[in-house]
Amino acid sequence: MIQTNPSTSKLTEIKLTKDDEADSVDSSKYQGMIGSLLYLTASRPDIMFSVCLCARFQENPKTTHLEAVKRIFRYIRGTSHLGLWYPKGTGIETVVYADSDHAGDYVDRKSTSGICTFMGCCLTSWFAKKQTALAISMTEAEYVSTGKACQQALWMKQALIDYGIRLDNVPIMCDNKGAIDLSKNPVQHSRTKHIENGVIFLSRKLHPRII
């Protein structure tokens, strides 16, 4: 269920399951609605998480899923004045923010990573993606999310080189102390073999610029 907070006009809660007891709906119609919303996420990062969550049920959508999608459309109608601001003359200092929930998916209990990149005061990229591995703690979920943020930082640095801009450091902001300590301590990497090897490789590139 998606709830709209009247005081902030933001989607504040979403809980969806397969809901086998609910009636099925036209999958083609549902997929078309999801496709339109996914296109809109290119300029509306505030709906990214909710849209991606609803997109997970395109194979066999139910009435509860359709109602959630309609709630997103109603939210968009009431917040059409929102947008992204890109002022002239902004700096090129780049910062990547990483966050994650823990076992937030009610179907398989996997966590979802959220990554956004700022250049100066401008939001330049963002995404929300369910993690492929099942994290057994909040630290692990944040650790995987931070690895994805490192990928984004490395891609941003390489992309800017094509425009003649070289960034020495790209700070990655993470709000979980356990994940930060884990990324900075190579000794602990031997205890995290159950986490994706790619994340461990990337985490070594974070030291000591993760904040």
Q: Which residue has the tokens 């090897």?
A: 197
Average pLDDT for 77-83: 89
- Where, residue-wise, is CATH 3.30.420.10 in the chain? 94-206
Which has the higher per-residue pLDDT, 72 or 197?
Answer: 72
Proportion of the chain above pLDDT 90, given as a percent: 59
The two three-digit tokens of residue 59, written as one number: 């194979």
Average pLDDT score, the chain: 84
3-state class (DSSP) for residue 97: strand
Residue 191 has a pLDDT of 59
Q: What is the pLDDT of residue 62?
A: 96
| Per-residue pLDDT at 197 exceeds 70 | no
User: CA–CA separation, 164 vs 161, rounded Å?
Assistant: 5
Residue with tokens 């919303």: 37
- Residue 143 · residue 99 · CB < 8 Å: no
Q: What is the pLDDT of residue 121?
A: 92
Q: Are 58 and 37 in contact (CB under 8 A)?
A: no
pLDDT at 43: 92
Q: Which residues pair with residue 99 across a beta bridge?
A: 114
CB-based contact 182:204 (threshold 8 Å): no
Give pLDDT, residue 4: 45
Q: How far apart are CA 116 and CA 145, in angstroms?
A: 11
pLDDT tens digits, one per residue of 84-137: 989 988 888 999 999 999 999 989 999 999 999 999 999 999 999 999 888 888
Q: Please, what CATH class does the domain formed by 94-206 belong to?
A: alpha beta
**In angstroms, rounded to a whole number, what is the distance separating the alpha carbons of residues 87 and 118?**
13
**Rounded-to-integer distance, Cα 127 and Cα 145, Å:** 11
Say what the pLDDT of residue 136 is.
87
Does position 210 have pLDDT exceeding 80, yes or no?
no
Tokens for 148, please give them. 């994805």
In whole angstroms, what is the distance from residue 143 CA to residue 149 CA? 10
Q: What angle do CA 53, 59, 64 make, to 5 degrees?
A: 55
pLDDT at 38: 95
Q: What is the reported pLDDT for 133? A: 84
pLDDT of 72 > 70? The answer is yes
| Residue 5 confidence (pLDDT) | 47
Residue 53 CA to residue 61 CA, distance in Å, equals: 12
